[in-house]
């Protein structure tokens, strides 16, 4: 009998054959590990984040210890989130030159000049009300906030950050930040824009980790409606036009279609953020013994890559490096 059907199994027969034809691979250098650094008088401070097993808030010292281990494993890039001692309505610790993120950047860059240190640029961890911008009449004011974001990005640049990543979702922020950086001689500092950031419930555990839950209301007047794909293209186009170097889609796994559209629609590098809720769900399932953590993580990250991510921010980065070693 003559076979007329497709025999896909021919190339799946052995591990070596499968390896030969594999189309997508996670590379250690694609991974960015997030860290939470706390401004505290206790140099030994380290507090596990209950909803994110394996992740913790660290003092500067403890952060440095943790990063040292990660660098030994081969970590090349990280993104920093800061938790200040004092919060106020204008989030002044976000742009203070002595702020916790700025201190952490200086520390890490002094110790590891080659490490790519990225900073999250946003107000929500620094404002007493937990919103990502400046409030007036209980409403986040777009244009007023731009100055604050630009100041924040500039202070990160001065501290020695290798890249800034605005996550606030104000309109015009990339332009404001680009202008501020260029004016002060940071024209070669790249901006990774959280361009397509949905108002997602998957950020729940992060808000415990970063102590950044809004005191009232939600973020829906600035973050995107998860239902919108065409609008995602508009957001990405706008950020690119304003000077973004990398476009990010966030969350990742529930938004693979968005990721693919962005990858196909724009020729700049695309980043995906596997967010806290994605992490916590996998951790919870694994702790229950219902799923195999390592296999599920690798499959998820491979899917994110396959859908178009060039780089991936993931709380599993350190673990992946460990598994790949």
Contacts of 189 by beta carbon, 8 Å cutoff, 6+ apart: 157, 161, 162, 163, 164, 181
Q: Stretches 21-29, 58-66, 93-101, 203-211: which one binds ligand PBG (CB under 6 A)?
A: 203-211
Contact 152, 101 (CB under 8 A): no
C-alpha 89/C-alpha 147 separation (Å) is 15
Q: Stretches 38-46, 119-127, 255-263, 300-308: which one binds ligand PBG (CB under 6 A)?
A: 119-127
Binding string to ligand PBG for residues 266 to 285, with x set by CB under 6 A, is what?
A: ---------xx---------
Q: Hunting for tokens 């209301």 — which residue is that?
A: 217
CB of 168 to ligand PBG, least distance (A): 6
Q: Tell me the residue number closest to ligand PBG, measured at CB.
A: 206
Q: Hunting for tokens 């401070």 — which residue is that?
A: 45
- Beta carbons within 10 angstroms of residue 284's beta carbon: 13
Out of 132, 134, 180, 317, point to the residue binding ligand PBG (CB under 6 A): 132
219-257 core/surface letters (b: 16 or more CB in 10 A; e: else): beebbbebeeeeebbebbebbbebbbbbbbbbbbbebbe
Binding string to ligand PBG for residues 140 to 179, with x set by CB under 6 A, is what?
A: ---------------------------x------------
> Any contact of residue 203 with ligand PBG (CB under 6 A)?
yes
Binding string to ligand PBG for residues 10 to 39, with x set by CB under 6 A, is what?
A: ------------------------------
Q: Residues interacting with ligand PBG, by CB under 6 A?
A: 120, 122, 124, 132, 167, 203, 206-207, 219, 275-276
């Amino acid at each position: 009998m003559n076979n007329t059907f497709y025999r896909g199994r021919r190339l799946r027969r052995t591990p070596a054959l499968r390896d030969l034809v594999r189309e997508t691979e996670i590379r250690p250098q694609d991974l960015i590990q997030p860290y939470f650094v706390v401004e505290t008088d206790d140099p030994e401070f380290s507090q596990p984040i209950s909803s994110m097993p394996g992740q913790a808030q660290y003092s500067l010292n403890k952060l440095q210890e943790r990063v040292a281990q990660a660098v030994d494993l081969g970590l090349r890039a990280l993104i920093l989130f800061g938790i200040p001692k004092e919060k106020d309505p204008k989030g002044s610790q976000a742009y203070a030159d002595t702020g916790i993120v700025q201190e952490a950047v200086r520390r890490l860059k002094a110790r590891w000049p080659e490490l790519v240190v990225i900073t999250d640029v946003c107000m929500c961890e620094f404002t007493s009300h937990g919103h990502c911008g400046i409030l007036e009449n209980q409403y986040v004011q777009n244009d007023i906030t731009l100055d604050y974001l630009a100041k924040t990005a500039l202070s990160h640049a001065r501290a020695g950050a290798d890249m800034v990543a605005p996550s606030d979702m104000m309109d015009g922020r990339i332009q404001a930040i680009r202008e501020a950086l260029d004016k002060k001689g940071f024209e070669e500092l790249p901006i990774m824009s959280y361009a397509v950031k949905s108002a997602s419930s998957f950020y729940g555990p992060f808000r415990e980790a970063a102590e950044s839950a809004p005191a009232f209301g939600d973020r829906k007047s600035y973050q995107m409606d998860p239902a919108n794909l065409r609008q995602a293209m508009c957001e990405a186009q706008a950020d690119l036009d304003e000077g973004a170097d990398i476009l990010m889609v966030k969350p990742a796994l529930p938004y693979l279609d968005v990721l693919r559209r962005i990858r196909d629609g724009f020729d700049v590098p695309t980043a995906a953020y596997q967010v806290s809720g994605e992490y916590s769900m996998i951790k919870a399932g694994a702790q229950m013994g219902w799923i195999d953590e390592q296999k599920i993580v690798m499959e998820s990250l491979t899917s994110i890559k396959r859908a178009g991510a060039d780089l991936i921010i993931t709380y599993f980065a350190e673990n992946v490096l460990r598994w790949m070693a």
